[in-house]
Amino acid sequence: MIFLDAAATTPVRREVIEAMFPFLTNQFGNPSSHHELGEAAAAALAAAREQCATALGAHPEELTFTSGGTEADNLALKGIALARRAADPSLNRVLISAVEHPAIVESADHLRRIHGFEVCVVPVDAQGLVDPDVFAGMLAASGAGSGSAAGEQDGAAAGGGVAVASVMYANNEVGTVQDLSALSAVAAAAGVPLHSDAVQAAGWLPLDVARLGVTALSMSGHKIGAPKGVGLLYVRGGTLYEPLIHGGGQERGTRSGTENVAFAVALGTALAMAESARPSAAGRVTALREGFMRRVLAEIPTAQLTGHPTRRLPNVASFCFPGTSGESVLLELERRGIVCSSGSACAAGADEPSAVLSAMGVERTVAQTALRFSFASDITASELDAAATELAAAVERMLRLG
């Protein structure tokens, strides 16, 4: 089997298992306990937080361990929006890009339905990029907008100041990478906190939060060799945000509940390893991805690349194959020993075409033919050559069958 679905998940690294194992067995203390076992757990938790902070160029106290990227996204968007509006009731708008992960889309909708916020969707171009000038205009806008069926506002805002904005660093379906530094500068000029979902960027793109300029950033462990069930939220010091989970006040009051020390150690280890390997891995895999994309487009004349041709994740190649069914090609590839995806794993099984591709202006019937190929850092040229050969054969067979 050739696994080309690393954007969905990755296996846990052996070094990560070895690092976390003691905290699942003999070093099982609660970090809030004031005895030897508890203090050892607290020290391990602090060390893991320091590892993550180093990778992000952040202060350890600016980081909160979560159960994954979804919780981190929820805590960022809801937490900042609610705290900022509590301090200033005129801050009643939330801006999100049109290509966000469902964790952000649904969090924004929750703020609209339950808390009365106005949600404004920042459009993207045909390659999935947010225009900083359009973003700036929407941050400043206060006129009436036209609501969509979901109750969101497209284009101009419906009134009130912006409590928080969110634009993902790199898209999980098409791989397009935003100019986050430019967008952060625009948000800072408007006095608006900018959050970014960096789940797919971790291990492939620089995560230095000072250089990126973001107010908040989310990531997930299982994309970089840590277990499923652990993530991280960075929030710049001094930024107001409300906790979503209340109780004993762990994580400096931002996320109550006994800390998962083993998984925090796992994330710290995985992130340190990923960041250390990133420059060489990103360069090598980018070259392999370029070759794979060229071959697919040359051997399948009807294939259409989705996302930006160059401003994209090193490990993601995504296409539409008009005249086929994406799911049918997916199954045919699996029969041939190639595992990939028809889009975001978090939206698997949905009958509707990808919201990301729709936002990019891809026709509905074409969007339903999409496939995403995402590579682990140890992918080889021979594996991608074999995948391209099988893909061409699979698409030809599906076109022939009609």
Residues annotated catalytic, as ranges: 346
The candidate with the shortest Cα–Cα distance to 214, out of 246, 175, 170, 167, is 167
CB 63 within 8 A of CB 234: yes
- Rg of the chain on CA atoms, in Å: 21
Task: Provide CB contacts within 8 A for 394, sequence distance 6+.
Answer: 329, 332, 333, 336
C-alpha distances in Å from residue 382, one per residue of 2, 292, 378, 387, 388: 10, 10, 12, 9, 10
The candidate with the shortest Cα–Cα distance to 215, out of 77, 380, 320, 96, is 77
Only one residue has tokens 């009051």, namely 253
CB 168 within 8 A of CB 104: yes
Query: 367-385 burial string, b = 16+ CB within 10 Å, else e?
Result: bbbbbbbbbbbebeeebbe
